[in-house]
Structure 1
Amino acid sequence: MKVIAVLILFVACVAAGLQDFKVKTVHPRDRTNASSFDSRITNGLDAAAGQFPYQVALEFTGLFSSWFCGGVIIDNCWILTAAHCTDEALYVKIFYGALSLSSPAFTETVYALSFKQHILYSSSSLKYDISLIKTPHVAFNSAIDKVKLPSISATPQTYEGNIATTSGWGYTSDYNPNLAGTLQYIDLEVISNTECESVYGAVISDSNLCCKTDNGISTCSGDSGGPLTWYDGITWLIGITAFGSSEGCQKNYPVGFTRITQYLHWIKDNSGIYTP
């Protein structure tokens, strides 16, 4: 019996060790120190005027604090962002057509009654991290325009092995708690969910999309809810920035996004936007 007990204890310890090996994920708003992941662009490139007309900046205000996120225009009256950005917010200030946050084309303030946060979102999960914001009608031009959503009727792509682009005004390093002066962007390679799960464990699901990061080039605070796009002659929205490693932005762990193809029906049901 003693031998069996020792073996059981050994197996339990090994299992615990394997569990501990998995890197912990964290939503950007849960960042507690300068080394935690908080979606932002590190070691990125300066965007040119009009390069990302679908990108907006979102300054949220809650009861006791305020926070910064990104968002993406998907229609004249709709912005898509992460649920962990809208969660507990009272209102948001939207910056349209901005290359620098100090000089947007214009701003709008929208209150929480116009938020459509996924009803199943929970801060303890990586699922359902998606929200819609209904806005006053915005006229499109070269600086402000919508991005195209994938087709709801097409067979969903994994995008594995493709190069995707993400953008935002978030922090530019783990140790510089200031928003970028100019919109930043980076190109990242999409990896399989199996590879992502090997780092983060079973919290990764079909509703997630992950990209690998190398040489400290990553999303990192302020980029949450911002776009991940893929270009094949048309720019498609394939993800919104959602999570990463609690150990830091520049640790070369995969970064995670909400996979848009998993939520096209939800977007249609809550906004009326249909992409055949």
Structure 2
Amino acid sequence: MSVQAGVVFLLTFSGFSVLADSSLTFPENARNGARIVSGWEAEEGQFPFQLSLRMVSPVGAVTACGGSIVHPEWAITAAHCTATRISVVIRIGAVNLTRPYSIFETTEYYNHPLYNEAMQGVVQPNDIGVVKFNRKLVFNDRVQPIRIHRSADMNRNYAGIRLTASGWGLTWTQGSSPENLNWVYLSGTSNFECLSAFGGSSIIQSSTICARGYNETTQSICQGDSGGPLTVVEEDGQLSLVGVSSFVSGTGCHTDFPAGFIRPGYYHDWYLEVTGINFDWDFEEPEPEPVPESESDSESESESETEESLESNESDSDSSESDSDSENSESSESNEAESLKILKPVIAY
């Protein structure tokens, strides 16, 4: 694949600078708008943590994004989705958007302090935010939280690992938005490979995770998928949220370039500061299964019988050894006497 590095220029704000790279764009703005590209339709309950967000701007414009439930009162999404918006309409438990489990509105969200909302139209690092529901969700088979990637693995290299992305992006080039949730497998790429693909863009940082087509080059995220989840099945067999959809190549969604996600495991201290909740975690060691009391008694009796048997065998063995020693002693003395008779000296004449 040839690298098509775009023009970059320096922007400075809030005391630090980033490179705005025209080879990168938000999924909403990518040329040849497409969907969760080359994926499949989700089934009811397949992604119970997935949210559909509709953000309303001060002038009434509406944009669409995704998000993930991480707590009965909190969700995670991309900062560029909620920045400068006055309200967020949330659909939960939805696969088909016309049949959500619940729909409500909130006005409370918090974007990471290193994300500059005044430059919302520019791809930035730290593109992550949390949304607070104006209620406490009741979980069921259609509405469930997903755990945030743990901080201990925040720098883990997922190159070649199968990941999953989901969302309600457009179905194909210049197509219409689907009512049904779509999902796709992606293959994780190293940050080095992602940097190479985007000409060394400073947007690709340690807090970035990239992924490209799993078994087809067109597989990717796209329009309407920003803020949505990138997940992996961990060693304990459970899902973790390892990425928040952030950007794609400016050449289009279904071109052979990686898509970019923000690693949520980088921000546990900030979540705690904003929400008062510690979302970090660690693998639990499996506890040994308790032995039923009846089996324990049986094992104790068996051990006692075994010990008695061993003691009996040892006693018989000692008795046998004693008799054998006595016989051996008598035999030895007899042989010794015979030897003396044979060896008795005689006078030679």
Q: Which interval holds the TM-score relative to the shorter structure?
A: 0.7 to 0.9
**Counterpart pick for 2:194 among 190, 193, 196:** 196
Q: Deviations over 1:69-116 (max 9, x none)?
A: 0000000000100000001111011001001001101101001xx111
Distance 1:238 1:155, change over 3 A: closer
Provide the TM-score with structure 1 as the length reference: 0.85
Opposite residue 75 of structure 2, the aligned amino acid is: I
Is the 1:44–1:172 Cα contact (8 Å) retained in structure 2?
no
Shift of 1:20: 5.0
Name the SS of the counterpart of 2:257 in structure 1. coil
Distance 1:155 1:77, change over 3 A: closer
Q: C-alpha distance in 1, partners of 2:196/2:86?
A: 37
Opposite residue 174 of structure 1, the aligned amino acid is: T
Shift of 1:140: 0.5
- Equivalent residue, structure 2, for 1:76: 72
Shift of 1:126: 2.7
Q: C-alpha distance in 2, partners of 1:230/1:223?
A: 17
- Equivalent residue, structure 1, for 2:127: 129
Distance 1:152 1:240, change over 3 A: same
**More RCO (CA 8 Å, sep 6+):** 1
**Counterpart pick for 1:259 among 258, 263, 273:** 263
- Equivalent residue, structure 2, for 1:249: 253
**1:101-250 correspondence to structure 2 within 5 Å:** 101-111=97-107, 114-122=108-116, 123=120, 124-135=122-133, 136-153=135-152, 156-176=155-175, 178-200=176-198, 201-203=200-202, 204-213=204-213, 214-232=216-234, 233-250=237-254
Is the 1:173–1:250 Cα contact (8 Å) retained in structure 2?
no
Shift of 1:156: 4.0
Q: C-alpha distance in 1, partners of 2:7/2:110?
A: 36
Q: C-alpha distance in 1, partners of 2:105/2:6?
A: 44
Name the SS of the counterpart of 1:186 in structure 2. strand
Distance 1:146 1:198, change over 3 A: same
Q: Deviations over 1:29-61 (max 9, x none)?
A: 5x2x7426x8x4112101111010000100111
Opposite residue 262 of structure 2, the aligned amino acid is: T
1:53 aligns with 2:48: yes
Name the SS of the counterpart of 1:189 in structure 2. strand
**1:60-99 correspondence to structure 2 within 5 Å:** 60-64=55-59, 65-99=61-95
Question: Over the residues paired in the alignment, what is the CA RMSD in angstroms?
Answer: 2.1
- Equivalent residue, structure 1, for 2:17: none
Name the SS of the counterpart of 1:263 in structure 2. helix
Q: C-alpha distance in 2, partners of 1:18/1:130?
A: 25
Name the SS of the counterpart of 1:84 in structure 2. helix
Q: Max radius of gyration: which structure?
A: 2
Q: C-alpha distance in 2, partners of 1:154/1:179?
A: 35
Shift of 1:216: 1.5
Name the SS of the counterpart of 2:67 in structure 1. strand
Single out whichever of 239-248 and 196-205 deviates more from structure 2.
196-205
Is the 2:5–2:23 Cα contact (8 Å) retained in structure 1?
no
